[in-house]
Amino acid sequence: MSPIRLAIVGLGKIARDQHIPAIAKTDGIELVAIASRHGGLDGLPWFTDIESLLAEGPAIDAVALCTPPQVRRQQAAVALAAGKQVLLEKPPGATVSELLPLIQAAKNGSQTLFATWHSRFSPAVKPARAFLAEHGVRRVEIEWKEDVRVWHPGQAWIWEPGGLGVFDPGINALSILTDILPAPVFLTRAELAFPANRDAPIAADLAFSDSSGFPVNAAFDFRQTGPQTWDIRVETDAGQLVLGKGGATLSLDGKALIGEPEAEYPNIYKRFVELIAARESDVDLTPLQHVADAFLLGRRTTVEDFED
């Protein structure tokens, strides 16, 4: 079978650091073109936007949309209308409601729409889900703190409406949380810190619960310097389970259970190939719904200006 011919739309940091190496490692798919305002790659056809890619570019079967979330809905709609399979970087869009017509369009065309949550493909996530299915959860504490200047240098879109601010990394924690817990949770409180000169939060403190009442607390912050923190601690009736380093490690009461190399993006593309072969979609909006709830319930405070 011929490999899936893929074009990347949006050649930014995440595409260069993660998508391109992952595609090269994945059987059954190959990168054949780039559409980006920021230039292309040597040896591949390059176009400034998805419309010119589809009109003038080489034959393609699928697109990976790595652009800022504010413009993904329109790009995905164009690609689906052209009969292409579509992979969405996280978050899948700027709003929840804009994604529903895309889901229906993919269904109508028997096409694949894949909303990726890369952190769910971390090595500790599946074992943690299996463990929590068998042991009672008493409390969850999430600490997700990183330096925005390191991970999003000069990316003004992240501070604009729809850019999510600190929820851009924080949604990774929520994607893991909603995948490993045996029952759904709902937001009960949110405190959002907005720089005086920005339209998206730089920090957030959240509280969730479920029908049984156990607490889930999450602290997100974009102002961390030095070592970065991406940890989820779950108190259970069998001890403390810790997913560390964004889900790369897993321990129980300090005893290491999992510590494998990162393979999130190769696993994403493996899943994309499988979905296309099965003519299926995979679009879970739960993490984005929790972020939307945080903006609905959030008590806003103003903090000092942020300058990149």
Tell me, what's the pLDDT at 106? 98
DSSP character for 121? G
- Residue 211's pLDDT is 83
Could you tell me which residues come within 8 angstroms of residue 60 by beta carbon, excluding any fewer than 6 positions away? 5, 6, 7, 32, 33, 53, 54, 84
> Which residue is it, tokens 């409180």?
189
Catalytic residues: 90
Spatial distance between the Cα atoms of 50 and 71, rounded to a whole number of angstroms: 11
The answer to whether the 4-115 and 122-260+292-303 domains have the same CATH topology is no
Which residue spans within the chain are E strands per DSSP?
Answer: 4-9, 29-35, 46-47, 62-65, 85-88, 113-115, 137-145, 186-195, 203-209, 216-221, 229-236, 239-244, 249-252, 255-259, 299-303
User: 204-229: string of b/e by CB count within 10 Å (b at 16+)?
Assistant: bbbebebeeebebebbbbbbbeeeeb
Q: Residue 168: its pLDDT value, please?
A: 96
Query: In the CATH scheme, what is the homologous superfamily, with its name and number, of domain 4-115?
Result: NAD(P)-binding Rossmann-like Domain (3.40.50.720)
The structural domains of the chain, with segments of one domain joined by +, span 4-115, 122-260+292-303
Residue 63 pairs with which residues in a beta bridge?
7, 86
Which residues of the chain have a pLDDT value below 70?
none
* Calpha distance 238→241 (Å, rounded): 9
Which segments of the chain does DSSP mark as H helices, in order? 13-14, 20-25, 50-56, 72-81, 99-108, 125-132, 148-151, 167-180, 264-278, 286-297
Q: What CATH topology corresponds to 122-260+292-303? A: Dihydrodipicolinate Reductase; domain 2 (3.30.360)
- How far apart (Å, rounded) are the C-alpha atoms in residues 193 and 213? 26
Q: How far apart are the first and last CA of the chain?
A: 47
> What pTM does this model have?
0.95
